[in-house]
Structure formats: C-alpha cells, structure tokens
Structure 1
Amino acid sequence: MASDQQDPDALRVYFSEELRRTRQRAKLSQSQLANALGCTPQWICQLEKTDKTVSEQTALDLDTYFKTDGWDQDDGHFHRIHTAIRRAGRHRVLRPSFDNYRLQEAQAIGIRCVAAQLVPGLLQVEGYARGIMDENEPAETLDARVAVRMERQGIFLRETPPETMFVLDESALRRPVGGSKVMVEQIDHLVEMTRRPNIQVLIMPFERITPLALGGGFILLSFVRDSDLMYTEAGHISQLIGDKDVLFKAGVHFNLVMGEALSQAESIEFMLRVREGYL
C-alpha cells in the first residue's frame, strides 16, 4: 500500500478488502458480523464493496469486535486505515498553490484580504465552511476541508497574532450560505472578531459602485524578514505571487479599497442590521 498511501480511493478499497479478509478469517458471514455490530447485512456488504463512506465510529467498532492490535487505545488496524483515508483526502483536496499559501500564512505577521463574494476562510464558522462545499463529495473529504479551515484560524491564538485587515463585499453577508441560522452565527462571529485589537473587518456596501469595489478578491501576506506574497484564486486555479511590481500595485489597490469601505464602527452597525434580516 505504500504507493497508494496518498490516494483516498485506494485506501477505501484497502479498508474494504481488509474488512472482508478479517471477517472471513474469523469464519463469520456478513449477517453474523452485522448482528454482532448491531447493523444490517446490507451495510456490511456495502462496506466490503466500497459503496459506503467509512465513519470513524465504524472503524472503532470493527477494531473492538475483532480485537485488532491497538484497539484498546483507539489505535486499531481499521482506525489507522480510517485516519490514513482522512489524511489522504485532506492532501488531495488542497490546491498545490493553496497548500503552499497555507504554510506561508502560518508565518505571516500581517494579512490583508479583499473578499469579493464569500466570508474569508480565516473568519468562517464551521457551519458556513460546510455550507459552501459540494455535498456530493465523500464525507471524509468534506471533513478534511473543514478541518483545514479551522486549523488555519489557530494563527489568531498565537502569542503574537498577525495584524489582519479584511474588506468584505456586502454580497458576502447577503448570500445565505448554510441558511439563516448559520448566517446569524457567522455574522456574530464577524462582529466578535472585529472587536479584537489586531483585526479589522470593513464592509464594502453595494451602493459604492466603483472600479475598486467591483474588482476581484486577493490576500496579501507580510513577514518579518521575507518579502510580501499575494494569493489569488479563481475557480480551480490559484496563484501565489511574489513579483514586486504586482505586489506594489496590489498594496495600493488594497489601501484604496479600504478608503472606499465603511469605517469600523459603520461596518459593525451594518453587519448587525444584516443579521436582523436572518432572524
């Protein structure tokens, strides 16, 4: 399995094969195993045919029943495969440039972001993060994407968190990602984050129809010693840019966008008004 250790599909097949092999070695039918686990024979059949997404609890239950090595420490054979599936899924769902960006972001002392359509990942609550993802993706892939978003937010818990400035287009607040309940939670989170001394969240209202307001989103990272970097993405294409001319123009653009946006106090008041519409 070494060559397939980064392929979640191959790992799911491996899980199914190991389940079938272990069950047959124990001389159990699918019905007998299902009865022991409190599920249906059809469920076991689907697991062995790779037709079902493997949950962590299923992996733990199988380890407990078969007493696989490490089962009593939640580190049995099936749980280890499940963990590998999740890790491989996370590796696959990250765009190459984004994976590099994430590493750079963790080292940044300053982050400036223009968000044209959605709440930026660093400010998303879990429900919002799930709401913008494709529900047809395997559960472990979705979990991996959400986990990456939540892990990135750990930079705000550093002893010296980065100075961050976000400019959000009004559409990011008006688009009901995840439904009204999620949007109330998301706006509450934005307001709470805005009140931190190292975070600014400014809103660009629809009424300000200028070339600056209609431009696309981007992120600028600043570091202690290294040169700034710029991250942009469109669809499934992402770029991490270090060109000094591009970065200079992006920095000027960001400053101008901030000048067009509402003030901090106005932005908080605006977000709270939008929140009322979701109640």
Structure 2
Amino acid sequence: MGERRPETPAEADGTAGLFVALGKMVKLLRERKGLTQKEFGELVGYGPDAVSSMERGVRTLRPEVLIKADELLDAGGLLKEVLPEVEEAMAKTRTRHPEWYRNYAGLEAEAVSLYDYSTMGVLGLLQTEDYARAVFTQRHPPLDEETIEKRVADRLSRQQLFEKWPPPECSFVLEQAVLERPIGGPAVHAGQLRRLLHIGRMRNVQLQVMPTGRDEHPCLDNSFTLLTPKGKEQVVYMESQGYPRLITGREEVRILAARYGIIRAQALNPHESLDFIEKMLEER
C-alpha cells in the first residue's frame, strides 16, 4: 500500500521486540530438535517461508502455533507461558498501519468476503516476503531500511486473513501484465508465481487471470477491492499514487461490484488461470 503521511509511532509498545524474541526462541528450540523449517512447518501447518518469517519476527507467531510448538519442541511450557502477552500484542497490531490506512485494515481483518482486481502489481495480501521487500526497496523517494522492514512485517501480518475459520470468500483477478512483471528478479518472481498457485488452490479462493489479448475490457482504470466486513455492508477501497479512498456510498459500490462481475466473466476461469501460471513457471 502507498504512504501519504507518516504513521503514528507504535514500536514503543514493544510488540515488534516481543515477536523477534519469540522467533529466536522457536528457531533455537527447532534446531535443537533437529528439524528443518520445512519439517517444522509441516507439523504446525505452515510452509517454510512462513516459518522463516516467524523466526525472524517478521510474521506474527499466533497463539495456536506457539501451543503446538511448545509440545513439538519440548519447550516445557515456556512458549505457552507468554500466550497472554502475545494475545495482547496481537490486539495492538492494527496500530502498526499508517493512520490513513488503519480504518480499512480493521475492516479487512473482519472480512467475510474480499474481491480484488489488480492492474499494476500483486496485491499485498498475496505477496511473498521477498516480493514485498522488493516493492518497498524500489519505492521512490527511497525508504530507510527500518521502514522497509516494518512495512514488510505489516504487509505479511495482514495475510493472517487466510488463517481465519471460517475463512472469508475470496476472489482475485490479476491482469496478465502483473504476472509477467518480474519484480525483484527471476528468483523472487518464480517464488511469487508459486505463492499465487498455492493461494489459488485454497477452497475459499478463486484466482483468475485477465489475458492481455482481450479486445473488450470493462475497466481500463484503477485497481480496486470490494470488501464485506462481518455484519456490515460492502465497501470499496482503492488507491491512486498513494492517495487512498474508501467508498461506502451504495450506488458507487453497486457500480463497481457490477463492473467486477464483468471483469470476472471476461477473465480466464480459475482452472485455466492456474494452468496459465503453471505454464509461465515451466517456461522460465
């Protein structure tokens, strides 16, 4: 997401330091147990990239992971002991987002449905850690290293949306050009394509590709996200050059929802889209 004005400092609350310290503890216990990140991830239900992010404090170590880790790594209750502090820290995470983005972040966290159309880059919710870091590193004017790492951590923390139960209904339509743009270089690009395949195979997700060759298109304009928070009406979020807009007017939302329906109809279907991405990986 873009930045328009500085965020309210939140690092003073100690949440970042807490998760860095916990990550180091989990890494030490895992290595003592003789488990690789991949092996440990399979036991707790995460991939090796997610485990790496947790161990470096970039991604939140959720209570359920700490409970499993305590038993699997023979921590003797050490990790379970900090659960109250972890839950308190998680309640504060929304303050880590920029002030102007905070209202949307709160709505996104409680979404029961989320539909997104992406035109320039991969949506933050779908990004790998390396892709997100490349995006923030390439930004102009440049960001300092501390800000880059914080932005990466904030972006990855939003991906806990996929870990909710029941999961939200999600639909993502990406322009073909988004998939072809090798942000971060070949290795990062390949990792991002694999991440999209992983998410696209989730039961609650439909991921589609809009081919560049289509001779009709209902929205040669901005990216946008249609979001329905639990118990609330659907809203639309969009940005242009870092300037955000949250649309709540029923008529505007209705128009964009109808436009999104046409976009989905003109895109490749989910099965064709996954085949398209797999072919891209094979041809690299």
Q: TM-score, normalised by structure 2?
A: 0.64
* Helix, strand or coil at the partner of 1:164: strand
Distance between the aligned counterparts of 1:209 and 1:118, measured in 2?
22
Q: Which residue is equivalent to 1:205? A: 211
Kept in 2, the 8 Å contact 1:97–1:240? The answer is no
Letter in 1 for 2:245: Q
One of 97, 112, 117 as aligned partner of 1:114: 117
The structural deviation recorded for 1:239 is 0.8
The structural deviation recorded for 1:134 is 3.4
Which runs of at least 4 in structure 1 moved beyond 6 Å after TM superposition? none
Deviations 1:14-47 (A, max 9, x none): xxxxxxxxxxxxxxxxxxxxxxxxxxxxxxxxxx
Question: 1:139 aligned to 2:145?
Answer: yes
Deviations 1:72-131 (A, max 9, x none): xxxxxxxxxxxxxxx9xx85xx54432211111001100000001111111100011011
* Helix, strand or coil at the partner of 1:119: coil
Kept in 2, the 8 Å contact 1:228–1:242? The answer is yes
Flag the 1:6–1:117 CA change in 2: closer, same or farther, 3 A: closer
One of 235, 246, 252 as aligned partner of 2:252: 246
Deviations 1:158-184 (A, max 9, x none): 121111000000111111101010111
Q: Which residue is equivalent to 1:13? A: none
List aligned pairs for 1:47-62, cutoff 5 A.
Answer: none
Distance between the aligned counterparts of 2:9 and 2:251, measured in 1?
39
Q: Which residue is equivalent to 2:236? A: 230
One of 187, 195, 199 as aligned partner of 2:201: 195
Kept in 1, the 8 Å contact 2:182–2:189? The answer is yes
One of 214, 223, 231 as aligned partner of 2:220: 214
* Helix, strand or coil at the partner of 2:268: coil
Kept in 1, the 8 Å contact 2:113–2:229? The answer is yes
Larger Rg: 1
Structure 2 residues without counterparts, runs of 5 or longer: 1-6, 11-55, 57-91
* Helix, strand or coil at the partner of 2:230: coil
Flag the 1:7–1:108 CA change in 2: closer, same or farther, 3 A: closer
Question: 1:263 aligned to 2:266?
Answer: no
Deviations 1:216-267 (A, max 9, x none): 2100111332111110001120011101000000110010000000011110
Deviations 1:32-63 (A, max 9, x none): xxxxxxxxxxxxxxxxxxxxxxxx9xxxxxxx
Distance between the aligned counterparts of 2:282 and 2:8, measured in 1?
45
Q: Which residue is equivalent to 1:125? A: 128
* Helix, strand or coil at the partner of 1:270: helix
The structural deviation recorded for 1:6 is 4.7
Question: 1:100 aligned to 2:106?
Answer: no
Kept in 1, the 8 Å contact 2:108–2:229? The answer is no
* Helix, strand or coil at the partner of 1:247: helix
Distance between the aligned counterparts of 1:7 and 1:111, measured in 2?
29
Letter in 1 for 2:128: V
* Helix, strand or coil at the partner of 2:162: helix
Letter in 2 for 1:143: E
Structure 1 residues without counterparts, runs of 5 or longer: 9-55, 57-86
Q: TM-score, normalised by structure 1?
A: 0.65
Letter in 1 for 2:262: L
List aligned pairs for 1:34-49, cutoff 5 A.
Answer: none
The structural deviation recorded for 1:211 is 3.3
* Helix, strand or coil at the partner of 2:160: helix
Q: Number of residues paired by the alignment?
A: 195
Distance between the aligned counterparts of 1:193 and 1:224, measured in 2?
22
